[in-house]
Structure 1
Amino acid sequence: MKLLAFDTSTDTLSVALSDGDRVWQHTGPGAAQASRTLIPSILDLLAQAGLKLAELDALVFGRGPGSFTGLRTACSVAQGLALGAKLPVLPLDTLLAVAEEARFLRQPDADALQFTALLDARMDEMYVQRFAWAHGTWATLDTCTLRRPEDFVPPTSDTLLAGNVFTAYAGRLPAWPAAQCFDVLPTASAMLRLAPALLAAGHAVDAAAALPLYVRDKVALTAEERARVKAQAALDSPS
C-alpha cells in the first residue's frame, strides 16, 4: 500500500511515506511549530519518492491524545489533503503508536508482549494506556486516562513501559528496571506498520470525520492553579 503518515502530538514532528516497498522519513520540531513545517515536509517526501498525493491509498495521522495545537494541526492537514486528493483517512491513537515503536525496537519477532504507554500530558500529568501484542495483532486493554506520575502503579512486575516521561518525571515515577523502560515517541514509521491491519479492519473514515482525540478538556491552568502546582513541586523536590 502507498501510505503517508504524520504525527504532531508531541514536541517532535514525525512524517513517513511508503510506496509499498520503501519508506521515506522526516523528523523535526513538532507541536505548535509543526503548523509551519508539516506540509512542506510532506511535499518534500512525495518529491523524493516520485509520488503524487492522489496516488496514495490513504492518509494516516496521529489523532491524539497529545498537544492541543499539534492535534488540531494534524487533523486540519489530514482533512485538507484528503478532501483535495479524495483519499480515505485513518485516525490512529498516538499511545498505540508508542507501544508499536517500543515493540519494534525491543523484539520485533516476539509472539506476545504487553506495554503500558506513557506520554507526558504536561500540567503535571501523564496519558496512560495499556496494550497487548499477540500473534501479530495489537489489542487495547483499557481506555486512556490521565495520571499524576506518583499515582501511577504498573499492573504487574514484568510490565514494559514505553513513552517520553522517564526524564521529565524522574524520581516521581515508581522505581522500575531500566531494561523494561523504553524512551520512545509516537513515530510515523510505527503508524505505517500499524495502518494496513487497521485499514483492512475498516477503520478508515471520510475526511470530514477525521477528528482529534482529546482526553483532557481543560488545556490551561489558572494563575492560582499554576501557583499550587509550583508550590507542590517545591515540596516534592529534594532539599
Structure 2
Amino acid sequence: MPSLLALDSSTDMMALALVTPGQTRVFEAAGGAQASARMLPEVKALLAGAGLDLADLDAVAFGQGPGAFTGLRTACAVAQGLAFGLGKPVLAIDSLMLVAEDARAQGAGDDIWVAMDARIGEIYAARYRWVDEAWTVVEPPALYRPEALAAHWGVPAAAAGSALAEYAEPLGPLPRAWPRARSRAAALGALALAAWQRGEARDAAEALPVYVRDKVALTTAERERRL
C-alpha cells in the first residue's frame, strides 16, 4: 500500500489526508485565506504524527476543482511544489466527487448529484454513480443558476453539497439530501487511494486546477440589477 498525501482547499474548509499502509490520518480546519498559511505546517504535523518524512511519500494528491479560485490555486501550488521537490507524481482529485464520496459514506446510495455553492448566485453541480466499487461521472461538473439546476435534475435520487442549504427555495424539496459533510478529509483520502490504484499518477507539471468558470465576482452594475 502506498503512502499518499492529499490536499484540498476548494471550499471554506481545508482538508488534508495522509494515507499510509496502516492508517489514514486526517485534518480539517477553516480554509479560505487561512489555507495558504496553515497548509504546510499541518502537513508537517500529519507526517510527524505518522513517523514519516516527505521523502517517504509515493505521491501527492490535490483537489483540482471546481471550487474557490484562491483555494484551488493554493492546493495545486503546494502539491506541485512538493511533488517537484521530491521527484514524485501527483494525483488530481475531482473536488465535487469528494462530496459524493462523503455522502455515500453517510448512506446516500450510489447515484448522487453534488451541488456546491459557487457564490454570486450560482452552483457547481455534477452527477456521479458508484459502479463496480468505483465512481463514474454521469454528468461532468458544470455551472448552473439554481432555477436551471432544479429544472435539469428534476427530483434527484440523492443530492449532497452546500448549495442545498444556500439555495433551498429555488432547488425545491429534496427527499434525500445531505447538505453537510461528515469528513471531507476522509473522503479525500479514499479518492486519492483509489486514483493511485487505478494508475492515475501524473507528472507534477500536470498539476492544474479545473475552474469551470472564469468570473469570480459581480460588477457594481450587476450587483445593483440583482437588488
TM-score (norm 1): 0.88
How many residues are paired up? 224
| 1:175-204 deviations in Å (ceiling 9; x for gaps) | 112xx1012348232122122332233322
Q: 1:164-203 alignment to 2 at 5 Å? A: 164-177=162-175, 180-185=176-181, 187-203=184-200
Q: Is the 8 A contact 2:60 2:88 kept in 1?
A: yes
* Structure 2 CA distance for aligned equivalents of residues 158 and 218 of structure 1: 28
* Structure 1 CA distance for aligned equivalents of residues 193 and 38 of structure 2: 26
**SS of alignment partner, residue 213 of structure 1:** coil
Amino acid paired to 2:78: V
Question: Could you say which residue in structure 2 is the equivalent of 1:127?
Answer: 124
Question: Could you say which residue in structure 2 is the equivalent of 1:234?
Answer: none
* Structure 1 CA distance for aligned equivalents of residues 14 and 142 of structure 2: 23
TM-superposed deviation, 1:25: 1.4
**SS of alignment partner, residue 117 of structure 2:** strand
TM-superposed deviation, 1:156: 5.5
Q: Is the 8 A contact 1:152 1:174 kept in 2?
A: no
| 1:199-228 deviations in Å (ceiling 9; x for gaps) | 233322111110000101111211101112
Amino acid paired to 2:120: M
Question: Could you say which residue in structure 1 is the equivalent of 2:60?
Answer: 59
Question: Could you say which residue in structure 2 is the equivalent of 1:138?
Answer: 135
Q: Is the 8 A contact 1:54 1:87 kept in 2?
A: no
5+ residue gaps, structure 2, are none
Kindly name which structure, 1 or 2, has the bigger radius of gyration based on alpha carbons.
1
Question: Could you say which residue in structure 2 is the equivalent of 1:69?
Answer: 70
Counterpart check, 1:98 vs 2:99: yes
Amino acid paired to 2:168: A
| 1:62-120 deviations in Å (ceiling 9; x for gaps) | 0100000000100110011111111110011101111011001116xx6xx10001111
Q: Is the 8 A contact 2:79 2:207 kept in 1?
A: yes
| 1:10-69 deviations in Å (ceiling 9; x for gaps) | 001111112122122111111221011111110111111111111111111101000000
- C-alpha RMSD over aligned residues: 1.6
Question: Could you say which residue in structure 1 is the equivalent of 2:112?
Answer: 115
Q: Is the 8 A contact 1:150 1:174 kept in 2?
A: no
Amino acid paired to 1:125: E
Question: Could you say which residue in structure 2 is the equivalent of 1:237?
Answer: none
TM-superposed deviation, 1:158: 5.2
Amino acid paired to 2:221: E
Q: Is the 8 A contact 2:11 2:71 kept in 1?
A: yes
Q: Is the 8 A contact 2:28 2:185 kept in 1?
A: no
* Structure 2 CA distance for aligned equivalents of residues 158 and 77 of structure 1: 36
Question: Could you say which residue in structure 1 is the equivalent of 2:202?
Answer: 205
Q: Percent identity?
A: 44
Question: Could you say which residue in structure 2 is the equivalent of 1:32?
Answer: 33
Moved more, 163-172 or 3-12: 163-172
Question: Could you say which residue in structure 2 is the equivalent of 1:236?
Answer: none
